């Protein structure tokens, strides 16, 4: 990408898209294109093609998606498969029609089989059954990968696909029903501390293990790959280390300053037992994550206090 290239960030208000937007600005890219949902409905093919025809982006970061935690995925399976298939199909096909130079598609680590060998290497894709709680989402993401690869093969496009691990950071979703675990626990411990409660309930058995990548690191990796990677094969983006949910809960409780007890709600789903990416391909290309998880949690907690919690506290906002 040149500093003056026309770069479209689909999903620029979300966790990932907003981080890519910040990173590109910070690096001096000055010709950034973005549209809110109100101005461009990505579920409508005609609208998306019209936008590409008019704006002619040269590079596309496809970060628009319907995302959510383990409960949201199992409660709204139809929305997770339909919205994601529609959004990504419309954008990838428009990128082909309007001759985008390069597109980066964001997948997810849930594309790998539930019982996948750990750490999960790129070649384990489609080597076993998927986790049930998020199968519709995973199938949509796998379709996105295969679509990029098929277009590259048949039409000679340059569409790359990256698979991030569990992400967190500013602009995350802090809704307790639909969010991922890390923002949910920041909010739960923070509210319990403020209300003087002695106990916080977390979902599941606490034993599943997850890997957490700070979203600003992810954005840096995406820009790096956009500039340095051209292959159709997928690339994992992670930190290569994981921790048990109960240990994550203790760490967040410490950062927030909650001193009560942690209770397990085993009626809620655990999801995949373990999920850790093999990141040797990415490190071999010359990139690695820099933000330790405790530091990332501190920054996200601060953002939560400055933005989300204060918004909740002032009526009318």
Residues annotated as part of the active site: 137
CB of 130 to ligand GFB, least distance (A): 10
Query: With contact defined as beta carbons under 8 Å apart, do 31 and 4 qualify?
Result: yes
Binding mask 67-86 for ligand GFB (x = CB under 6 A): --xx--x-------------
Site residues (CB under 6 A) for ligand GFB, limited to 235-264: 245
Encode burial over 49-88: b for 16+ CB neighbours within 10 A, e otherwise. bebbeeeebbbbbbbbbbbbbbbbbbebbeebbebbbbbb
- What 3-state DSSP class applies to 104? strand
Measured CA to CA, the distance from residue 92 to residue 146 in angstroms comes to 11
Nearer to ligand GFB, 49 or 191 (CB): 191
Measured CA to CA, the distance from residue 259 to residue 283 in angstroms comes to 38
Site residues (CB under 6 A) for ligand GFB, limited to 162-221: 166, 179-181, 184-185, 202-204, 208, 210
Asked if 298 interacts with ligand GFB (CB under 6 A), we say no
Asked if 271 interacts with ligand GFB (CB under 6 A), we say yes
| Helices (H), ranges, the chain | 15-26, 45-55, 70-75, 77-97, 135-155, 181-195, 215-228, 245-256, 280-285, 293-303, 310-313
Nearer to ligand GFB, 178 or 232 (CB): 178
Asked if 268 interacts with ligand GFB (CB under 6 A), we say yes
Asked if 160 interacts with ligand GFB (CB under 6 A), we say no
Q: Which residues bind ligand GFB (CB under 6 A)?
A: 69-70, 73, 108, 110, 133-134, 137, 166, 179-181, 184-185, 202-204, 208, 210, 245, 268-272
């Amino acid at each position: 990408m040149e500093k003056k290239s026309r770069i479209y960030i689909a999903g620029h208000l979300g966790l990932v898209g907003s981080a890519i937007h910040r990173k590109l600005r910070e690096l001096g890219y000055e010709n950034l294109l973005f549209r809110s949902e109100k101005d461009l409905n990505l579920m409508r093919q005609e609208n998306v093609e019209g936008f590409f025809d008019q704006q002619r982006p040269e590079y596309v970061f496809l970060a628009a998606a319907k995302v959510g935690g383990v409960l949201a995925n199992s409660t709204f399976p139809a929305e997770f498969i339909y919205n994601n298939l529609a959004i990504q199909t419309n954008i990838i096909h428009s990128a082909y029609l309007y001759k985008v130079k390069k597109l980066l598609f964001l997948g997810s680590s849930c594309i790998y089989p539930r019982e996948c060998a750990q750490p999960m290497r790129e070649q384990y894709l489609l080597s076993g059954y998927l986790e049930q709680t998020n199968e519709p989402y995973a199938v949509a993401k796998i379709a996105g990968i295969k679509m990029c690869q098929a277009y590259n093969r048949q039409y000679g496009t340059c569409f790359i696909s990256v698979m991030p691990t569990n992400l967190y950071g500013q602009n995350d979703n802090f809704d307790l029903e639909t969010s991922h675990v890390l923002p949910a626990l920041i909010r739960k411990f923070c509210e319990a501390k403020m209300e003087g409660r002695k106990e916080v309930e977390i979902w599941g058995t606490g034993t599943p293990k997850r890997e957490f990548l700070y979203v600003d690191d992810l954005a840096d990796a995406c820009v790096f790959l956009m500039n340095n990677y051209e292959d159709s094969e997928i690339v994992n983006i992670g930190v290569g280390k994981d921790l048990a949910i109960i240990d994550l809960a203790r760490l967040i409780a410490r950062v927030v300053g909650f001193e009560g007890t942690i209770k397990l709600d085993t009626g809620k789903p655990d999801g995949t037992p373990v999920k850790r990416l093999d990141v040797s391909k990415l490190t071999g290309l010359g990139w690695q994550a820099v933000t330790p998880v405790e530091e990332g949690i501190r920054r996200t907690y601060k953002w939560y206090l400055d933005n989300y919690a204060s918004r909740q506290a002032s009526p009318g906002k």
